[in-house]
């Protein structure tokens, strides 16, 4: 019901993101979804990958600070208003979203939204009750 | 002008007699009243009766800044609290502040030394003295304040900060002397230039202290403001400003030797060094009642000048301290120890001290203070706001411990320069 998400600290330094992607690419780790949150001083890279724990080990060995956290991945209907319906459900349940990022083609051709809320367990239950089943790692 | 000729020009043999008599009394008194001192004397097998003159000073045990923390708050006071009329506090080597106390006589002696300092810089009852040192726990503001009142100068207790108001006041009230930190004097000088009011100010002299400054800085302040810039020395553990001050010849600071005895020691061995050597400055307070100290290790590195001064004062002079025998930094006039920063990071980081580096610089005559903290698992979070909250808590905690603002930057692990495997903790780029 949760997906394992990597969070990576990215110092504002030329070529830093390229370095990280290079390590993952060389080791055949597939990136399913990716987002970067940037501040004036540093960035946070969040990603869903094919093998989170292998990725974590590899990045760590390269001196990169990385953490695995749980996120919720929800498939989206290919119909207009798909994401907005999910947001409505969460709002109805009094759940706030900390961040989200969407990706097409994460699982086949469907769109998927990765999100983090203030009440992860409740979010999963609430979505399931509404016929939306969060995805796990594949 | 010499404020107290009888004392300031006392022949040296007479001065020595006075010092001896005061030391004997002080040691007896402290042995009786200050447990920490008594224990150290006993440990060294020294009795008050062994002290027969000022020449026996070297027999006495040292005291340290750490003592003020160990016996916090009043454990080193030599008078009951009912006789203490003032407390001053400053930052210690760790998060905890340190406190010193003064009796009425202590305040009187203190203002006497400030009166000497102000007079030596040319102040008298016709002087309009703009006191731009910080007021409050810091000894600068109130120290100068009482001394100015003693000589009858017209005191303008404006306190530190608010440059616009400083300059307006200087122009409108006709200030002829200013007291503040040297870096603030530079800052003011430039602001005066920018505002184009240099010809409207009447300043003739300034007394600057509480942070290190160089001869170059003195010349810059003097030429920019068209004044004479005098140095003053002091620390709250000894008294505050006025422990030593410059005369019109500006060739080292005369130590108020009737109240404070200076020694220069080797900071590693504790040996007293021969006259004229450079080493750690150590002070003994001869007449302090509330918070007396014997052989207090200031950690300031300097030398003493024994040659008579052309001004006629007989008290020896100390050169400007050139450094420290510990890792203390003076940033914006505030004492900062790396150990204080470590303590905060430890507290915030959940018992792991991350690698950090302090970077100090001086931009537009103001010290900048930045701390790079290496990112670690303990600090990483998938939400930016959580990391920001953590950064803010470090900044807030440091501000409350140190009393000055600091910028914190999270950097990549292993990015802080190391030499011989040890991270270089402090980078001080200031050219003073
Ligand atoms: Zn002199």
pLDDT (tens digit per residue) in B129-167: 999 999 999 999 999 999 999 999 999 999 998 999 999
Q: Is A135 a member of any domain?
A: no
A63 shares its domain with A86: no
A60 shares its domain with A84: no
CATH of residue A14: 3.30.2130.10
Q: Is A17 a member of any domain?
A: yes
| Domain coordinates in residue numbering, chain B | 1-326, 329-431
Q: Is A30 a member of any domain?
A: yes
Put simply, the answer to whether B384 touches A67 (Cβ < 8 Å) is no
Q: Is A86 a member of any domain?
A: yes
Instruction: Please give the helix or strand (H or E) that residue A103 lies within, else none.
Output: strand A97-107
CB B163 within 8 A of CB B184: no
Q: Which residues contact B225 (CB under 8 A, 6 or more apart)?
A: B185, B188, B189, B192, B198, B201, B203, B206
CB A7 within 8 A of CB B381: yes
By the CB < 8 Å criterion, does B309 face chain A? Answer: no
Q: Is A138 a member of any domain?
A: no
For residue B230, report the distance from its CA to the centre of ligand 1, in Å.
12
The verdict on ipTM greater than 0.90 is: no
A57 shares its domain with A88: no
A64 shares its domain with A9: yes
CB B48 within 8 A of CB B8: no
The residues in B 346-405 lying below 8 A from A, measured between CB atoms, are 375-377, 380-385, 387-388
Q: Is A134 a member of any domain?
A: no
A65 shares its domain with A8: yes
Q: Is A137 a member of any domain?
A: no
According to CATH, what is the number of the domain B329-431? 3.30.300.30
A37 shares its domain with A48: yes
* Alpha carbons B65 and B60: distance in angstroms, whole number: 17
What pLDDT does residue B226 have? 95
Mean pLDDT of A2-26: 90
A16 shares its domain with A66: yes
A90 shares its domain with A33: no
- For residues B291 and B428, the model is more confident at B291
What fold does the segment set B1-326 form as a domain?
Answer: Rossmann fold (3.40.50)
- For residues B281 and B430, the model is more confident at B281
pLDDT at A109 over 70: no
What is the distance in angstroms between the Cα of B216 and the nearest Cα belonging to chain A?
36
A56 shares its domain with A88: no
Q: Which residues contact B431 (CB under 8 A, 6 or more apart)?
A: B362
A25 shares its domain with A54: yes
- For residues B264 and B384, the model is more confident at B264
Put simply, the answer to whether B412 touches A63 (Cβ < 8 Å) is yes
CB neighbourhood size of B151 (10 A): 21
What is the distance in angstroms between the Cα of B284 and the nearest Cα belonging to chain A?
49
Give this prediction's pTM. 0.78
Q: Considering its fold, how many domains does chain A have in total?
A: 2
- Give the domain extent around A98: 71-129
- Chain A's closest residue to B407, CA to CA, is A41
A55 shares its domain with A79: no
Name residue, tokens 């070297």: B58
Which one of A12, A42, A43, A118 makes the best mutation probe of the B interface by having the most chain B beta carbons within 10 Å? Answer: A42
Mean pLDDT of B317-326: 91
Q: Is A107 a member of any domain?
A: yes
């Amino acid at each position: 019901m949760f997906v394992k998400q990597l969070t990576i600290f990215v110092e504002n330094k030329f070529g830093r993101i390229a370095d990280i992607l290079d390590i993952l690419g060389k080791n055949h780790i597939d990136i399913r979804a990716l987002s970067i949150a940037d501040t004036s001083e540093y960035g946070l890279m969040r990603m869903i990958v094919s093998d989170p724990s292998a990725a974590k080990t590899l990045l760590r060995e390269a001196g990169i600070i990385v953490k695995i956290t749980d996120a919720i991945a929800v498939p989206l209907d290919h119909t207009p208003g798909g994401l907005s319906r999910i947001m409505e459900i969460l709002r109805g349940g009094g759940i706030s979203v900390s961040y989200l990022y969407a990706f097409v083609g994460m699982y086949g051709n469907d769109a998927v939204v990765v999100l983090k809320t203030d009440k992860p367990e409740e979010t999963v239950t609430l979505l399931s009750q509404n016929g939306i089943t969060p995805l796990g790692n594949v | 002008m010499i404020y107290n000729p009888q004392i300031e020009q006392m022949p040296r043999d007479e001065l020595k007699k006075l010092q001896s008599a005061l030391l004997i009394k002080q040691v007896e008194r402290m042995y009786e009243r200050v447990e920490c001192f008594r224990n150290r004397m006993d440990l060294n097998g020294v009795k008050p009766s062994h002290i027969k003159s000022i020449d026996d000073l070297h027999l006495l045990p040292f005291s340290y800044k750490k003592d003020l923390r160990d016996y916090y708050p009043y454990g080193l006071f030599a008078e009951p609290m009912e006789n203490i009329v003032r407390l001053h506090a400053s930052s210690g080597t760790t998060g905890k502040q340190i406190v010193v106390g003064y009796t009425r006589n202590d305040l009187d002696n203190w203002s006497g030394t400030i009166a000497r300092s102000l007079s030596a810089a040319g102040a008298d009852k016709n002087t309009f003295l703009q006191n731009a040192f910080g007021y409050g726990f810091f000894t600068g503001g109130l120290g100068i304040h009482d001394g100015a009142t003693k000589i009858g100068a017209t005191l303008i207790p404006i306190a530190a900060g608010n440059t616009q108001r400083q300059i307006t006041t200087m122009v409108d009230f006709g200030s002829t002397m200013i007291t503040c930190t040297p870096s603030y004097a530079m800052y003011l000088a430039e602001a005066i230039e920018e505002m184009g009011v240099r010809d409207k100010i009447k300043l003739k002299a300034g007394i600057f202290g509480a942070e290190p400054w160089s001869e170059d800085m003195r010349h810059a302040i003097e030429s920019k403001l068209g004044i004479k810039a005098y140095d003053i020395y002091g620390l709250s553990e000894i008294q505050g400003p006025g422990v030593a001050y410059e005369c019109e010849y500006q060739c080292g600071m005369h130590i108020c030797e009737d109240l404070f005895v200076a020694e220069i020691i080797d900071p590693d061995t504790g040996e007293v060094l021969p006259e004229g050597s450079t080493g750690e400055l150590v002070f003994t307070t001869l007449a302090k009642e509330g918070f007396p100290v014997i052989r207090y290790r200031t950690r300031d590195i300097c030398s003493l000048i024994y040659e008579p001064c052309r001004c006629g004062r007989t008290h020896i002079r100390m050169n400007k301290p050139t450094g420290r025998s510990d890792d203390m930094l003076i940033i914006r006039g505030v004492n900062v120890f790396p150990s204080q920063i470590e303590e905060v990071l430890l507290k915030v980081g959940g018992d792991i001290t991350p690698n950090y580096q302090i970077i100090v610089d001086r931009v537009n005559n103001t010290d900048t203070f930045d701390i790079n903290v290496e990112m670690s698992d303990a600090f990483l979070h998938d939400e930016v706001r959580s990391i920001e909250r953590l950064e803010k808590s470090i900044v807030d905690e440091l501000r409350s411990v140190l009393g000055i603002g600091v910028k914190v930057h999270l950097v990549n692990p292993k990015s802080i320069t190391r030499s011989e495997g040890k991270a270089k903790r402090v980078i001080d780029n200031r050219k003073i």
